[in-house]
Structure 1
Amino acid sequence: MDFSLSQEQRQIRDAVAEFVDEEVVPRAAEIDETDEFPAELVEQIGELGIMGAPFPEEYGGSGLDYHSYAIALEEISRGSGGLGTIVAAHVSLAGNMLYEFGNETQKEEYLTPLAEGSDIGAFALSEPGAGSDVPAMETTAEYDESAEEYVLDGGKLWISNGSVADTVTVFAKTDPDAGRKGISSFVVRPEEDEGFNVEGTEDKLGDKGCPTAELRFDDLRIPADRRLGEEGEGFVQALKTLNGGRITIAARGVGIARAALEAASEYATEREQFDQPIGEFQAIKHKIADMDTKVQSAKLLMHRAADRKIRGESYVKEAAQAKLYASEISREVANEGIQIHGGYGYVKDFPAERFYRDAKLNEIYEGTSEVLRNTIGERVLEE
């Protein structure tokens, strides 16, 4: 078992880390304060090849393995949790839907601009009454045979990148009476498709810079050739896509936890009380030790899941474990970071409180911690 990075992986890590230190970290507080979509940073990430990191070069991607992609997303999230979500939703969700389930024409037309970074992608699955319970969705797609079009009606909620996306993969019921077997997926182009409406974006606790939108579809007509796969395959497509996405949410968690640890360690060496740096006190040393141990453990789970994905092996349990653990330790590490900072950790003059707010989201989206524990428990009992 080799835990060392390849030369290419080190180069990717170093290039992205340099970009994050020079461009993202200096702007992270501003992004958090204004909550504006950082379009120029996203463009630069595209120029680095990360917006299409795991996709083949023939579709505009960089052809990187999932270890490299996770490493890059970890570094981006270290700089800004919101920017990490923007990239993860674009690549792991919207992009992967097209790559895994699109035909050649769809990949060339819609995946390529996503992978090149010229378009932004979003993944529209959740609804007000259908979060973890996907089959409870009410959005419908009725086929108009005479026009060879689907007519979408309904709405989606909590859609990352939803208000800025050029391409949205949308899930809707083509057979409302068939439950999970009646769900299909489609490519929607907001600028082209009349009836696509952004109702607004959420004012969130954290994850600033990434717009989380509410979408409405009113008699939205799309050509039949924009359906991904066959009718009724949408539920399985969504589960497979979310499974891969959990690896990158683990990466986001690791990145935020690393940022919290690094800030706390720096503060502990500079802040003096009782005539010595607070890092000299055993209580602080123990906190730092536990924080680092949790970060390193989360990274191993993340790369274990990525390794199984690369090998083509089942990784449902491994991805759930990586996402669950990284999500929870990111909040725990960020919480301890605030504690080490004391009063300074509770004010916005220091980034410690931002790390905590950004970390909490990891336990909610792309599978809540409760749902992931069900998934893990079921797989363990089946073994």
Structure 2
Amino acid sequence: MRDFFLTDEDRAFRAEIRDFLGRELAPRADKIERDEDWEAVKQVVRALGEAGYMKLMFRDLYDGPLGQPGLTHATILSEEAAYLNYAFETTIATALSCAYPLHSKATSAIRERYLTPILEGTAIGSICMTEPDVGSDSAAMKTRIRFDEKTREWVIDGFKRYISNATKSDVYIVWGISDPDVAPQKGMSAVAVPADTPGLSFPRTYDFMGRRGCVVGEVTLEGVRVPEENLLGAPGQGFRIMLGAFNFERVILGGSGLGVARSAFDIAKAHAETRTAFGQKLGQKQLIWDMVAEMSWRIDAAELLTYRAAKMYDAGMDGKELMREAAQAKLVSTETAVFCSDRTVQIMGGDGITRQFGRAEQIYRDARALPIVGGTSEMAKYLIAAREMPSVKPNL
């Protein structure tokens, strides 16, 4: 039996959300992939919000039937959504990554203004960290956030790229250096920037090989001004807020990778069980069942690591004590997605690289982003090694 770490309530929730997405997302998945139909994305986001599923991470706001909602259930949601369409899952995962610091660090007024619409499905959010010279090395951030004492406003200047939901979001959480005279880890802050703020612009969106329908682009901030209350937490707390968001994001990405891997695996099994070659079912051939067996154990390993991390988070663990487990979940699940999508295409042969014969080629294109987004596989290995050898600092 799979889902070893899940309770009966968790399994019932999986069945419920699978049925929901089967009604709301599955009929629109092709339009999202083929036509990059943003209206189709919005319709499903709105349905998720109306059903209360966007509140799974926030126990004080959730009013559904689950006794202890949490990251476990948000991860199940991401897994089931990614199974059907990873581009759509990226959109909601990014919105939740924006909601996470708003919920924990924003003032009540800012939460009501920006968090509530996201959780109700009527608004979208983005997080703005990555820059041309800043990926995993967030301490090298060049975006500047200064406080104008006269107007009591935060002024932001900078350039961000690879921002999911860029041009489509209603609010952007922007990280930047607010005190350049101290170490970046102590001088970084985060602010909420509404989409209609003067000085906020979007130079271009990117054309990716996969994740069609997920809008990703660049964000420029030139003299952007937001009220004092738009600061998240206190000045200089941005790096700490970022670290907390990373654990959350990596576990969610574990669910994303699982969903993509499972989707590929199901296609591979169906093909191996029905395709005949040289007088036998394809699945009877050693080279094929070797691939199927390896996909199976990789998926089980990824699932165990992902839901272990989710359950640890829901039990109250976070920060450095969860860093290793979250990194392992993200690393193994996303690499498993790439492995399974590649083997599925190989098992299917020419059918696997042709749109006319199903989704294998789409999944193959989609999966390749997973070991890069949210921190590369190499960065995940660094975090794991750093926790395993605390007396030695690995050389990046």
Shorter-chain TM band: over 0.9
Match of 1:368 in 2: 376
Q: Distance in 2 between matches of 1:347 and 1:158?
A: 28
The answer to whether the 8 Å contact 1:73/1:252 transfers is: yes
The answer to whether the 8 Å contact 1:60/1:116 transfers is: no
The answer to whether the 8 Å contact 2:55/2:119 transfers is: yes
Question: One-letter code of the match for 1:328?
Answer: E
Match of 2:247 in 1: 243
Name the CA shift for 1:15/1:305 in 2 (closer, same or farther; >3 Å).
same
* Secondary structure of the corresponding residue to residue 123 of structure 1: strand
Match of 2:45 among 42, 45, 60: 42
After TM superposition, the structure 1 stretch with the greater mean CA deviation from structure 2, 48-57 or 59-68, is: 59-68
Match of 1:255 among 239, 253, 259: 259
Report deviation, 1:244.
Answer: 1.3
Indicate whether 1:65 and 2:70 are aligned: yes
Name the CA shift for 1:182/1:60 in 2 (closer, same or farther; >3 Å).
farther
Indicate whether 1:55 and 2:58 are aligned: yes
Report deviation, 1:182.
Answer: 1.5
The answer to whether the 8 Å contact 2:46/2:120 transfers is: no
Q: Distance in 1 between matches of 2:364 and 2:181?
A: 43
Match of 2:19 in 1: 18
Match of 2:9 in 1: 8
State the TM-score, normalized to the length of structure 2: 0.91
Q: Percent identity?
A: 33
Report deviation, 1:57.
Answer: 4.7
Q: How many residues align?
A: 380
1:151-173 Cα distance to aligned partner (Å, 9 max, x none)? 11111101111221111111122
Match of 1:353 in 2: 361
Question: One-letter code of the match for 1:324?
Answer: L
Report deviation, 1:132.
Answer: 1.3
Q: Distance in 1 between matches of 2:131 and 2:63?
A: 32
Q: Distance in 1 between matches of 2:32 and 2:279?
A: 37
Report deviation, 1:104.
Answer: 2.8
The answer to whether the 8 Å contact 2:107/2:229 transfers is: no
Question: One-letter code of the match for 1:187?
Answer: A
The answer to whether the 8 Å contact 1:12/1:72 transfers is: no
The answer to whether the 8 Å contact 1:291/1:333 transfers is: yes
The answer to whether the 8 Å contact 1:51/1:90 transfers is: no
1:208-261 Cα distance to aligned partner (Å, 9 max, x none)? 211112011121110011000111111111111111110000100000000000
Indicate whether 1:90 and 2:66 are aligned: no
Indicate whether 1:198 and 2:202 are aligned: yes
State the TM-score, normalized to the length of structure 1: 0.94
Q: Distance in 2 between matches of 1:59 and 1:15?
A: 16
Match of 2:337 in 1: 330
* Secondary structure of the corresponding residue to residue 382 of structure 1: coil
Q: Distance in 2 between matches of 1:345 and 1:262?
A: 13
1:267-304 Cα distance to aligned partner (Å, 9 max, x none)? 11221112332122222222111111111110000011
After TM superposition, the structure 1 stretch with the greater mean CA deviation from structure 2, 269-278 or 299-308, is: 269-278
Name the CA shift for 1:65/1:58 in 2 (closer, same or farther; >3 Å).
closer
Match of 2:394 in 1: none
The answer to whether the 8 Å contact 1:55/1:115 transfers is: no
Indicate whether 1:185 and 2:186 are aligned: no
The answer to whether the 8 Å contact 2:56/2:62 transfers is: no
Gaps of 5+ in 1: none
Report deviation, 1:355.
Answer: 1.1
Name the CA shift for 1:4/1:154 in 2 (closer, same or farther; >3 Å).
closer
Indicate whether 1:122 and 2:126 are aligned: yes
* Secondary structure of the corresponding residue to residue 46 of structure 1: helix
Match of 2:235 among 231, 250, 268: 231
Report deviation, 1:60.
Answer: 7.7
Q: Distance in 2 between matches of 1:48 and 1:291?
A: 34
* Secondary structure of the corresponding residue to residue 219 of structure 1: strand
Report deviation, 1:4.
Answer: 5.9
Report deviation, 1:26.
Answer: 4.2
1:3-38 Cα distance to aligned partner (Å, 9 max, x none)? 363343223211221233344334434322223322
Report deviation, 1:196.
Answer: 1.2
1:49-78 Cα distance to aligned partner (Å, 9 max, x none)? 222221135378887222111111100000
Report deviation, 1:45.
Answer: 2.3
* Secondary structure of the corresponding residue to residue 297 of structure 2: helix
Match of 1:210 among 210, 214, 225: 214
The answer to whether the 8 Å contact 2:52/2:62 transfers is: no
1:285-336 Cα distance to aligned partner (Å, 9 max, x none)? 2211111111111000001111111122221100000101111111001100
Report deviation, 1:119.
Answer: 1.3
After TM superposition, the structure 1 stretch with the greater mean CA deviation from structure 2, 269-278 or 238-247, is: 269-278
Q: Distance in 1 between matches of 2:59 and 2:225?
A: 31
* Secondary structure of the corresponding residue to residue 389 of structure 2: helix
